Structure 1
């Protein structure tokens, strides 16, 4: 089980003006492999490669938790990196087990979609380390936490990914040039948002201990993604906060730098690896 640190429970977060312009386009040049690259050098395919790296991690997480094994070699690409950690979870609540199995199928389908769409430009699965990544998350959040230890922890670990995925897709959707790519990204954003809502509402129904743990993860995530106070826990001012959004009820966005800081688990500028990706992501967009 997890042990939350009460001091990490968050008050009502200050309301920010998260303009839709604060998206992938605004900093994508800084998030590319070279700080000298310009945003105009980033192609739709580069954005899809970035998304594929995230989908590899999500698919591996949910498949390992629901089936005990990750994606097949045929879906990982040539010279794919190794995956460390993960095991099948014993679900006490059948419905939650079904929820997670459906999410696993969705994430695997996303991997296959990106690989099919990108063709020979599809990057292979990067090296992924769940053990080191979640150990760092637990330390930052003040939790005694094994994401594969029980169903509540597994949903909590999934919330870490789903919240980030939604905000990343919200940013990318505003700058994709190819209409077919944009339509696909919008559809995947909707699916990730369904996942996020399911995870956050499931945790909220688990009671106070789960609220505290989820808010602690949110707080830790917010400390490393950048200077803005964007992240939102699942309980704010004593009320449920299942839908993190701007004051206008619009999903807020994250730049690739902010996303990379979370998955690399670092607030350092210029980092190109760490956390869940010990060797970094594959593709052009890989540096904070």
Structure 2
């Protein structure tokens, strides 16, 4: 009986959480006149005109391209930097290791937004204000402490025998890292990718402060322009929101298994 009520509560929560998304998708497939007349109605026919309006007239193609470049670039650079650092901190024993771990953990305690003025002046001094590359570097650097924290925990949990067997076979340190241990932490990498991708894709603060040119805006900032220009076209607004949401849904669907494996494995460490 307890299990039944538990499932009932979870299904009720899922319905409440998904209802706005379903309404958003359905209204994006209806003409604006139908949406204004009956906001909760069902589409009579599938009308994709609103998606064409959002993609072309509202420059969503540019915003999506910028968001993909910034988010994918930042996450890739974050993982590329964090993986070797996490391997060293998780598997090696050396003087000062505890200090380095504490240093990276301190990055989790300090919100990066508190440093917006130094970040702005630093990027300005090297000509990276109003640059997508500057935004990539800021995002990648801000995610390194979290990524190292997650990845190093997984590296520590791997059996020492794997490393010893590889050394007996003549493998060097880099080969042990790249060919033996890194494939075993794929669930952790997937967890880091998802948990970093989502907030970066949705971030509004740094693009608003660091970007000046409309053609370089990411989706969250571009949406504010979109809302002002198409505030009476609800169908196009919903289409724009669907376009902004689809990559996150696809990412979760593709990485769900790896995320679950990563989180459950992390609980055992």
Same fold (TM over 0.5): no
- TM-score between both structures, scaled by the size of structure 2: 0.26
Higher helix fraction: Structure 1 or Structure 2?
A: 2
The structure with the larger Rg is: 2
- TM-score between both structures, scaled by the size of structure 1: 0.25
